[in-house]
Amino acid sequence: MDFILKKQLVLLLDTAVSLKGKLSIGAHGAGFPKKVASLKEVLLEENQNINYTKAFSEEPIVRILPKTIEPKMHKKFSSILNYMTRERFVLRMRGARVAFTECFVITPKGNVIEEINPLMGRGTSPIFYKSKMPPLRHYSGKVAVISNTNNYFHWMFETIPRILLLKKLKINPDYFVVGANNSFKKESLRKMGLKESKIISASDEMHLFADELIVPSFPINSGNPTPMVCEFLRKTFLKPSVKSLSKKYERVYISRGEAKERKVVNEKEVIDYLSKRGFVSISMDGKSIEEQAKIFSSAKVIVAAHGAALSNLVFCNKGAKVIEVFHPAYVNACFWALSNCMGLNHYYFLGEKTGVFDAALNITLPIDKLGETLSLARVE
């Protein structure tokens, strides 16, 4: 009897050792990461467990300044007039982990890589402010980390195109870690051919490792769309047969709708003014990506306060005119950069603050400045 028990114990120990080798999660175990490190540092330190493959080389981007009635061009535009994109790549890792809604990737030795992790600060990461790590779960096969964001622009230009890098290198993961918690995300993932059964939904309870973790880099430097990504989005979401929805949407004012910030407080006045000039007011709230693409592909002139709906400029036809209005304290050049990619004529001006302190950055849109900008754009 003792011999049989001893033999069973040996078999159990052998199985445990075998599983430990097969399901290795690196020297740092399942706890919090040790530190933030650059990709270069990690590749030197952990080259046995991490494979780096280049997908696309760096490329220079030369832009044209927007036109404005403002007395001085804002520095946000001039600072990125000539721009160099980063090299885009895919990492394949053994023993790495991914955790939380934000999809933090942790290497086998407990490093958080600056270049592939979201929300990075100066030498730190929000993962270090979490109270505890969730229980670790193993997935067999290859798991790709596509990331997660609820912002339409970042989703369309920085998240979904990561799948393009995988396609470029002919990598076919068994699962995809990605957020799929709203309609535009679900629609875009269907368009990309991702079956629901292959999606691991990112959440605050997520903490997993796989036989192989695949991490494509972000395809653009944040806020800097590239021609390659723009072409990819047009091919994916804009049907070739749809050249124009109707003349109804040739002149469009994009309302901020249900947005909680950067609202136009005198919007009724703005809509009344623009409607006399043939503009239609419309919100993108609740519309599918395909519907938004149809509207923007029909537009010849677009007026809007800065907001994620302008991501749909990627669906405009070359030569369309865009008038973007900013809060004086918040000028973001991402849609001017997108306009350059698409060959659009971009105009801007600054709205007026609504109070001494307004955390929501709401604005009053001066009708006289709107009229001057329309004249500058030769929109009668």
pLDDT in tens, the chain (380 residues): 444 444 444 344 344 333 433 344 554 567 888 888 999 999 999 999 999 999 999 989 999 999 999 999 999 999 999 989 889 999 999 999 999 988 999 999 999 998 888 665 555 678 888 889 999 999 999 999 998 788 899 999 999 999 989 998 999 999 999 987 788 999 999 998 899 899 999 999 999 999 999 999 988 777 889 999 999 999 999 877 555 556 789 999 999 877 778 889 999 999 999 999 999 999 999 999 999 999 999 999 999 999 999 999 999 999 999 999 999 999 999 999 999 999 999 999 999 988 766 777 899 999 999 999 999 999 98
pLDDT of residue 106: 94
Ordered DSSP codes for 18-34: HHHHHT---TTTTS---
Please tell me the predicted confidence (pLDDT) of residue 146: 92
pLDDT value of residue 13 = 37
Task: Give the DSSP letter of residue 327.
Answer: B
**Virtual CA dihedral for 256, 260, 264, 265, nearest 10 degrees?**
140
pLDDT at res. 243: 53
Sign of the torsion formed by the C-alpha atoms of 75, 230, 379 and 326: negative
pLDDT at res. 118: 66
Identify the residue whose tokens are 């993932």: 189
3-state SS, 262-297, equals CCECCHHHHHHHHHCCCCEEEECCCCCHHHHHHHHH
Quote the pLDDT of residue 126.
Answer: 82
Domains of the chain: 23-59+85-237 (no CATH), 247-376 (3.40.50.360)
What is d(CA 350, CA 157) in angstroms, rounded to the nearest whole number? 25
- Helix locations, the chain, DSSP H: 2-22, 39-45, 75-78, 152-154, 162-168, 183-191, 227-237, 267-275, 289-298, 334-342, 367-376
Residue 116 has what pLDDT?
A: 87
Please report the pLDDT score of residue 242 as a whole number.
57
In whole angstroms, give the CA distance from residue 88 to residue 85. Answer: 9
